[in-house]
Structure 1
Amino acid sequence: MGVWAEWWWWCARPGRLPRAAPLSILLATVLALISLLFLLNAKALSRHASPRQVLELEDHDLEGAPQHHPDLVTYIRQLHLVHPATAPYNLNNPNTTDFSQNGQSKVVAKILRGKRGGFFVEAGAYNGEELSNTLYLERELGWKGLLVEPDPWNFWALRKRSRKAHSIHACLSPNPFPREVSFKQSDTMGHIVSRSEEGGRQGIYARVKCFPLYSLLLALNSTHVDFLSLDVEGAELQVLKTVPWESVSIDVLCVEHRHVPEGSQALATFLQEKGYKLFSTLGDDFIFVKTSLLERPSEDLL
């Protein structure tokens, strides 16, 4: 005999039913209310994914999602973004001022006239200290920003530096949607594996998530970037082509052009069409400035 059958048999015994009736009515009412709430909640969940649901999605469920999709933005914000460190800096060379290879940081600061409290994105952030194009801006001028680093070892080293910027272990997607890729680890030369490399598999590889730049900016509630440093070993032009330029404002770009398969000129032409002027060349990097910012005597910037 089941539990419910035993309960009803007990209630139906002579002298028990009148006293058990109010309890039965109360129990039936509670069960009905619980069932109703469950049905209403199920309908609501089927219409809109909650943040908790987004976190419970399998990674592949978001592959191919539009870069502005709110579920993707929530997924990045709640599961992948690492908040700025609150501990003191932990640098190997704390007395160094400009950590960039060819003085990129100070050039950018001069272009923006020593702006304080700006916002940067550095893709290819390495270990957060050596060759950093943004650490000077962060330490000396109080900038905030986002550090993007796909190499697991480099990202671990970056976290140890206690940077005062958001960070994410990911790569910038060369497509306007998220995807997961094979990433070849190679110190400062790590890169997304191309089809021609897939057969060899010599070296150390990791599976890494790639998110569009626009998705990352939406996750940070910021679509204005004072300075974008882009060093992604050949995918620079593809990444820039994913940006919805009508929705994103970037003042200054530092873009490595050496490994762009389409060629340096293709990169320069694309950004010139988007309203930028090639300001200078520093090593393997082009510095582009929004044309509207150059409407002042050029000697002020030199």
Structure 2
Amino acid sequence: MSACGEWWWWCARPGRLPRAAPLSILLATVLTLISLLFLLNAKALNRHSSPRQVLELEDHDLEGAPQHHPDLVTYIRQLHLVSPSLGPYNLHSPNTTDFSQNGQSRQIEEILKGKRGGLFVEAGAYNGEELSNTLYLERQLGWRGLLVEPDPWNFWALRKRGRRAHSIHACLSPYPFPREVTFKQSDTMGHIVNGGDDASRHGIFTRVKCFPLYSLLLALNTTRLDLLSLDVEGAELQVLRTVPWEAVRIEVICVEYRHVPEGKLALSSFLQERGYTLHSTLGDDYIFVRRDLERPSLGIL
């Protein structure tokens, strides 16, 4: 009897094998891809499982937690902060020196008298290269810090640049506690959808976690910054109001004022009341400096 046995008619059907072979290859390929995806996902879950077991918390358990809560700080540090790159930079314009739009980086360098090894937080970091207020300081002066970017596409591009700073896919919370918000993606103009916005309008929307600035600083084990670069498309003053200024020291604040709904005078007044002087205006950015920055008794951080 032939190898097909009682299924001789299957084997005998003309053209059956030529059609079946490509199908078998396709099925094998699909199964292989599924297996690879499963393995990658298992590795990711295994990498994050330990902190989650330690915290014994789900994401929603931290909604509304005080910004200084140790569980929140640990949650951010272990599950959300992405470590700096250890490889080479991967820039589209590697020969560019100052990537900021209107010379903000050089102005900050001048204000801080060429300080090396400074610490920054840049919120609204975009893709980590174009319009960056911190890349020059990082490459030329050895600064380190945190890049905050809520747009998932921009954050993916940022991660490809090989920055020597920590990064986080999140937004700065306009409240002194974490929360998840609806975020409208729009290249450099992405923003949190407020109550007055209609999320059904045309556009691309996503859900993003927002953490208070103070919580992020604690996750970085610091309460002192040389530079805060703040470009969050209208929430700048709200973010600054969440900061416990008695516990935080920031030498220079570069903040975009154009989209602040309270107005640029309200923004300026708020920071002046907290010990800052308006040093200069570059494009749509104000640069504020602590009044006591150049006092010899305090020095520069």
- TM-score of the pair, normalised by structure 1: 0.80
Q: Structure 2 counterpart of 1:91, which letter?
A: L
Supply the distance in 1 between the matched residues of 2:145 and 2:94 (Cα, whole angstroms).
20
Mapped partners of 1:199, 1:54: distance in 2: 37
Residue 251 of structure 2 is matched in structure 1 by: 251
- Corresponding residue SS for 2:126: coil
Q: Distance in 1 between matches of 2:111 and 2:199?
A: 45
Q: Quick one: which amino acid aligns to residue 97 of structure 2?
A: T
Compute the displacement of 1:51 (Å).
4.5
Corresponding residue for residue 149 of structure 1: 149
* 1:201 CA drift (Å): 3.5
Instruction: Report 1:8-47 matches (<5 A).
Output: none
- Output the CA distance in 2 between the equivalents of 1:253 and 1:100: 15
What's the secondary structure of 1:208's corresponding residue?
strand
What is the match of residue 161 of structure 1?
161
Which residue does 2:281 correspond to in 1?
281
Counterpart in the other structure of 1:97: 97
Q: Secondary structure at the match of 1:183?
A: strand
Q: TM-score, normalised by structure 2?
A: 0.80
Question: C-alpha separation between the residues in 1 aligned to 2:199 and 2:153?
Answer: 24
Give unpaired runs (5+ residues) of structure 2. Answer: 1-49, 297-301
Query: CA–CA distance in 2 between the matches of 1:151 and 1:52?
Result: 24
Give the Cα separation in 1 of the matches to 2:187 and 2:129.
Answer: 14
Contact 2:51–2:79, Cα closer than 8 Å, also in 1: no
Contact 1:54 1:74 in 2 (8 A): no
User: Alpha-carbon deviation of 1:198?
Assistant: 3.2
Matches within 5 A, 1:100-179: 100-179=100-179
Name 2:35's counterpart in structure 1. Answer: none
| Structure 2 SS opposite 1:196 | coil
TM superposition shift of 1:57:
1.9
Whole-Å separation in 2 of the counterparts to 1:110 and 1:141? 12
Q: CA deviation at 1:93?
A: 0.3
CA distance in 1, matches of 2:199, 2:151: 21
Q: Which amino acid aligns with 2:112?
A: L
**Corresponding position of 1:270:** 270
What percent of counterpart residues are identical? 79
- The question of whether the paired residues in 2 share the 8 Å contact of 1:54 and 1:75 is answered with no
Query: In structure 1, what is the Cα distance between the partners aligned to 2:162 and 2:222?
Result: 22
How many Å separate the matches in 2 of 1:247 and 1:54?
Answer: 28
Would the aligned equivalents of 2:199 and 2:205 in 1 still touch at CA under 8 Å? no
Aligned to 1:208: 208
The 5 A counterparts of 1:208-247 are: 208-247=208-247
Once residues 98 and 159 of structure 1 are traced to their aligned partners in structure 2, the CA distance between those partners, rounded to angstroms, is 20
How far is 1:294 from its partner?
Answer: 4.7
Change (3 A) 1:129 1:199: closer
2:82 corresponds to: 82
**Partner of 1:187 in structure 2?**
187
Aligned AA (1:200): S
2:55 and 2:71 in contact (8 A); partners too: no
Give the letter aligned to residue 195 of structure 2: R
CA deviation string 1:190-249 (max 9, x = no partner): 000011113533200110000000000000101100000000000000000000001110
Indicate conservation of the 8 Å contact 2:234/2:260, yes or no.
yes
What's the CA shift for 1:56?
4.6
Count of residues in Structure 1 that have an aligned counterpart in Structure 2: 247
Output the amino acid matched with 1:98.
D
Q: CA–CA distance in 2 between the matches of 1:53 and 1:62?
A: 15
- Specify the code of the residue in structure 1 equivalent to 2:272: Q
Q: What is the alpha-carbon distance in structure 2 between the residues aligned to residue 262 and residue 152 of structure 1? A: 28
Misfit runs of 4+, over 3 Å: 50-56, 198-201
Q: Which amino acid aligns with 1:87?
A: G
SS in 2 for 1:122: strand
